Structures are given as C-alpha cells and as structure tokens.
Amino acid sequence: MQERRHPERIVAFVMAGGQGTRLRPLTSDRCKPAVPFGVRYRVVDFVLSNLVNSGIRSIYILVQYKPQSLIEHVRKSWTLSPLLPDQFVTVVPPQHCGTGERFQGTADAVYQSLELLRSHRPDLVAVFGADHIYRMDVGQMVRFHRECGADITVSARPVPVGQTADFGILEVDHANRILGFEEKPVRGKPMPSDPAHAFASMGNYLFNPLVLEEVLEAAHERGDTDFGHDVLPQLLDSHRLYAYDFTDNRIPGLKSYEEAGYWRDVGTLDAYYAAHQDLLGLQPCFDMFNMQWPIFSSCYQGPAAAIFDSTIDNSQVGAASIVNGASIRDSIIRREVVLEPGIELEKCIIMDHAKICRGARLRRVIVDRDNIIKANSVIGFDLEADHQRYMMSPGGLVVIPKSRLD
C-alpha cells in the first residue's frame, strides 16, 4: 500500500455506539459496527481502513451499545505501531461527564471526549460514522475543507429528490456552502447543479478544532446532543459550513466495472443482504480486492478452505471452512463453516462456525454464527411456514439468530 500520511495532524472520532435495531436479530448481541460483513470483515473495518489508508492514524472509537464483540475485534485486528504515540486505534466508552452513563447523541459523545481531543492539539478533527460500506480518501475531503476556508465540512452524496425521506438533506448554494438542513423530508431541496437530486448527509464531518470545542461547549449548555439534528443547523449564520460531494472522491485501484462512489447504509436486513450480493460476480460493483486501497481486518491464521466433490457458483468461501458434497450458488460462506453432503444453498449468508447438516436446503437465508442447522431442514422455500419459526425481513429473508439450534 502506498503511504498517504497527511501533513496535517488529524484526530478521528468514530461513532460506533449504534444499536442497529432494524438489523435485529444480527444486533441482538452486538452493536451494528461489529456485525460481520463479507467472508472476513466487520462493518467497522470499512471506516477504519479508510482513515488508515488516508494517513489518519490517531483514532478513537466511541462505543456504547453491547460493545464487547467490537472491543474484542479491535483488540485483535487494529493494533497499529505501539512505538509511535500518534498511531493508535482505541476504544472509548462513555466518560460520565454529568450526562448520565450513556451518550445522549453524536455531539454529546464527542463532548464527553473533549479532554482526549485537547491532549493532541490537532490541526483538524474527523468525526465519522461506523455503519457504512464504502471506500473514501479522506485527504480529498481535507483539501476541499481547506480550499473553501470551511469551519465545518459535511460529506454528502446526491440522492433522487423523491427518495429523501430516509436522509438528512443539505440545502447548498452553487459553491456547496450549506444554507439549510432538512431532516428526512418527503421531497428534499434539489442541488443547484442538478435539479433531480438532493444532497444527503453521510454523517461524516471535518471540524476545525477550536470551532468544535466552542460549539460543543455551547451545545452542552443548551442541552443539544446531536450534530445533524441539533448542533449544525444553529451554526449556519455564524460559521462556514460546506458540503463535500462524495462522488468527486477518487480511489486508486478502482476497476472500470465497479460502481464509482459506492456507498451503502446497511442499516436494514434487506440492505445488508443486498450489499453482500454486490460483492459477487466476475465484475462486482464493489470489488473487495484492491491492493491500492485495501480493507483491513483480523489477521486470521487458519488454513484455506477445503472443498470436496461440490458445486460452487458465484460464491465466496472463507478460510478453514469444509465443503463436502454441497451445492452452493450466489452465497457468502464465512470462516470455519462446515457444509455436509447433499446440502443446497442459494443466495445465503452463512456466518462463522455454523454447521449445515446433511441434506439441508436453504434459500435466501442468513445464518448467524455458531448455529447448527439440522439434517434435511428446508428453509426459505415456504415463507408462510418460515414466518412461524424464524425472524423474517420485509423483503422475505429468513434470519436465524446467533447460537440458535434449528
């Protein structure tokens, strides 16, 4: 990987406290950023990889909801050089600064960590979410921030004006200076350069440090706790806020067939499943193999997958899995999975340490880790019957929670 260390000192706060209620049961025992993704990653690996690849290596991860799985993953996977004091990825729980035992919102979470910020005296502060699948060179956003003379920059992406009800929408002028905020409008204000699209906030921010301290102190006095909903809209007249167009971001090593500016919010079961399908195919719209901008994760030491007398098409199989006499199509199989003879998997996600016993047939099923699916089980073919036994998504996915014996 080419070194991209940014000349400015940047401290990053990664917001990783989300409950991910729409992802349940995958988030019943873990926070949303800790949810597995692909054959070897967690959702949090994408934002951390983007920061590290961009040369930002002073990273605090602010955790809250059921954080233990995330804490263990960071401990095993994200140890940067202990010889350099400004290179670290550290988990930070709520600091109990008079606001109770929990973060009350994104702004309150950073407010509770202001002493950490002050100890570094950085040139810039990045506040990024941990819930999305994407690649981004943050250095390009930093350059935009400096060129505009911004106090605060919000990363944004265009969405159709008729599909803005799930987003925080930014009203901007022709220079992308932010003029207003709309919270999940039915039809958002269009971009001046493109009447068919509106700017949706991605929840990623750059702040000048003194501005951040000032606005957080004032917000705390008012009882305001969230950046997008409370804090930033009140700064439009007093500060320079700009929207950075994520579609202008260029990642080295991107292949011609990939979707430029790929970004997915995997906040629902159906969106999470669809993002996995984006990884498949000879020319996937999001290709995980990019040596110039890798996505890092745990350094797993298990052997390669072992495959015997099986048919596998358009699928990925993780390390140390054993596939024996199985038929697999359009599926993601994670690590240390055992697939016995005669099973059929179609459009499934099978997580670590699961065992699918002889003769089972599964279609459009997510099996969380540590499960044993009994021999000759049939799941995903009779949705009415499945609905009586399993959790189902609005799109008809069957989801089997962690450690449930079928």
Query: Do both 114 and 208 map to the same domain?
Result: yes
CATH assignment at residue 149: 3.90.550.10
Contacts of 98 by beta carbon, 8 Å cutoff, 6+ apart: none
Q: Identify whether 283 is part of a domain.
A: no
Contact at 8 Å (CB) between 153 and 127?
Answer: no
Listed residues 246, 269, 292: the one ending a domain: 269
Q: Identify whether 225 is part of a domain.
A: yes
Query: Do both 235 and 354 map to the same domain?
Result: no
- What is the pLDDT confidence band of residue 300, given thresholds at 50, 70 and 90? confident
Percentage of the residues of the chain whose pLDDT score is greater than 90: 65
Query: Do both 249 and 314 map to the same domain?
Result: no
In this prediction, residue 5 carries a pLDDT of 54
* C-alpha distances in Å from residue 87, one per residue of 5, 60, 90: 11, 11, 10
Query: Do both 253 and 320 map to the same domain?
Result: no
Sign of CA dihedral 280, 283, 285, 290: positive
In this prediction, residue 6 carries a pLDDT of 57
Listed ranges 55-64, 98-107, 214-223; the one with the highest mean pLDDT: 55-64
Query: Do both 258 and 393 map to the same domain?
Result: no
Least reliable range by pLDDT among 15-19, 24-28, 263-267: 15-19
Sheet holding 327-329, edge to edge: 311-313, 327-329, 344-346, 361-363, 378-379
What angle (nearest 5°) sits at the alpha carbon of residue 254, between those of residues 253 and 256?
125
Distance CA 107, CA 127 (A): 10
- Number of domains the chain is built from: 2
For the stretch 348-367, pLDDT in tens is 999 999 999 999 999 999 99
311: left (phi over 0), alpha (psi -120 to 50) or beta: beta
Closest CA to 168 of 196, 192, 206, 200: 200
Domain ranges, residue 118: 10-269
Query: Do both 247 and 389 map to the same domain?
Result: no
Sign of CA dihedral 294, 298, 301, 307: negative
- Which residue has 């690996």 as its token pair? 45
For the stretch 146-204, pLDDT in tens is 999 999 999 999 999 888 888 899 999 999 999 999 888 888 889 998 999 999 999 99
Query: Do both 98 and 194 map to the same domain?
Result: yes
